[in-house]
Amino acid sequence: MNREAPPLIPGGIDRILLILRWLALVLAIGLSFIDRSMEGVFVGIFPLVGGIAAYNLAILFLPRFLPWLRQPFNVLALDVLVSTLAVYLNGGYHSAFFILYVFVLISAAFRLSVMSSLLLANLAAFLYLAACLLNPARLSTIEATYITGTKLTLLLIVALLSSLLLEQLRREREETARERALAEAQATFVSAVSHELRTPLTCIKTSIELLQATEAQDADASRHELIQTITNHVARLESLVNDLLQVTRLEAEQVVLTPQPTDMALFLKRVARSFTPLLVRKSQHLELDVSPGLPRVWVDRKQIEQVISNLLSNAIKFTPQGGHIRLALRGDKDTLVISVRDDGPGIPLEEQPHIFEKFYVGHQQKATGGVGVGLGLYIARRLVELHGGRISVNSTPGQGATFTFTLPLGRKVSRL
């Protein structure tokens, strides 16, 4: 029920709903010429139409001043009350303004969930019955009772059918959107993998050709550099293939964890030392901040090392030359909390909810020409969740990013 208020200048569905408001008034005028009975009529059709027309105009502006009218359910409930007042003042059970209820419930189907629409329909039915009973025309005849019962049934049928129909349309639209997103992700994945495979293969091929063409006297001088280039790109290909295989195993629920009691302080120091060459190359400083006296935790060391390595690799990649990276470990009740903070450009707020999705590559990585197909953080999330933990990111653009994940103390490890 708590959705955004319709915009002041209607568009799309809001335009349709506004048209429905005015169409209901036109139909009420038309129906009034069919039933000319004046029994129980306090106010004529045209003064009431004028009043409701003024209400329709006012409801466009009132949400600016009345915050509670910014919720669709509240606006529709107010519509029901206005419709009830019109019915009471214009003849009760035979009032042409009954048609207003029908259009309110159709509008509710566009705006609300099925349950909320049915709740509104029951409210409308109750108030309509009350208006009929309180109006001097009352329900004193079998004909009046039959007409009222038929109208009440009609209200509930309209609410149910329109709500179910539009709910089905919503689901189909969401399914279509998911299929489109999946197709886009697959296309992006194929493109990214093709690029990831083509670049190192080209470098390897070129290096081999240069080795073959190197003159004997120049062989010793260039051999090492070319072999190192081949080694680096083979490692890059190996990493990509390993990530693809890891995702395949995770998706097929074939990952088997082997938990061991682990001193995470010593474990983090060992993992951090393995990144010394990369840190030295970029003149970066890695600070290790470990709280003392922390208990051991049951983890699969290989998998958790992959998580930490992924976070540290990203931190080094996006932290500028001479920057600072902080790897921290602390306790928090029944969990250990590990975080990696960098001095990089940060992550835009709109990207943060998607950063752990499969195949998601952020704008910053694309802009800097960074390699990757968007699997590293997805794998990290899945591995942390298998250990019963959670992973998150906190970042302000221009002020770096902090990735944090938790590990529960005690042997709470999922086994796939």
Q: Which two tokens stand for residue 121?
A: 């329909």
State pLDDT tens for residues 87-135: 999 989 889 899 999 999 988 888 888 888 889 999 999 999 999 999 9
State pLDDT tens for residues 26-47: 888 888 878 778 888 899 888 9
User: For residues 175, 179, 185 and 189, what is the CA-based torsion angle, rounded to 10 degrees?
Assistant: 150
For residue 5, name the pLDDT band (cuts at 50, 70, 90): very low
Residue 402's pLDDT is: 95
Distance CA 394, CA 346 (A): 9
Q: Which long-range contacts (CB under 8 A, 24 or more apart) does 280-283 make?
A: 282/316, 282/319, 282/321, 282/322, 282/323, 283/321, 283/322
Which range is most confident: 163-172, 192-201, 366-375? 163-172
For residue 7, name the pLDDT band (cuts at 50, 70, 90): very low
Residue 41's pLDDT is: 87
Distance CA 210, CA 384 (A): 44
Q: Which two tokens stand for residue 7?
A: 């915009």
Q: What are the DSSP E strand ranges found in 108-195?
A: none
Average pLDDT, the chain: 83
Q: Tell me which DSSP letter residue 373 carries.
A: -
- Measuring CA to CA, which residue among 413, 11, 370, 415 is closest to residue 192? 370
Helical residues (DSSP H) of 214-275, grouped into ranges: 216-251, 264-273
Q: 360 with 374: CB under 8 angstroms?
A: yes
* pLDDT more than 90, % of the chain: 35
Statement: residue 9 has pLDDT above 50: no
Statement: residue 284 has pLDDT above 70: yes
First to last CA, the chain: 39
Residue 4's pLDDT is: 42
For residue 337, name the pLDDT band (cuts at 50, 70, 90): very high
Tell me the residue type at 204. Answer: I
Residue 319's pLDDT is: 92
- Of residues 32 and 348, more confidently modeled: 348
Q: What is the DSSP pairing of strand 260-262 with strand 297-299?
A: antiparallel
286 forms beta bridges with: 325
Statement: residue 311 has pLDDT above 90: yes
Residue 401 belongs to what H/E stretch? strand 401-408
Q: What are the DSSP E strand ranges found in 223-284?
A: 260-262
* Sign of torsion over alpha carbons 110, 112, 113, 118: negative
Burial category of 141 from C-beta neighbours within 10 Å (exposed 0-12, middle 13-18, buried 19 and up)? exposed
CB neighbours of residue 52 within 10 Å: 22
Q: Tell me which DSSP letter residue 388 carries.
A: T
Statement: residue 151 has pLDDT above 60: yes
State pLDDT tens for residues 355-378: 998 878 776 665 555 556 678 899
* pLDDT more than 70, % of the chain: 85
Residue 415's pLDDT is: 45
Q: 311 with 356: CB under 8 angstroms?
A: no
Q: How many residues can be counted in the chain? A: 416
Statement: residue 2 has pLDDT above 50: no
Residue 301's pLDDT is: 93
Residue 360's pLDDT is: 80
What phi and psi values does residue 228 have, to the nearest 5 degrees? Answer: -65, -40
Helical residues (DSSP H) of 319-375, grouped into ranges: 363-367
Q: Which two tokens stand for residue 45?
A: 């059709």
Distance CA 160, CA 162 (A): 6
Residue 218's pLDDT is: 56
Q: 6 with 74: CB under 8 angstroms?
A: no
Statement: residue 188 has pLDDT above 70: no
Residue 382's pLDDT is: 93
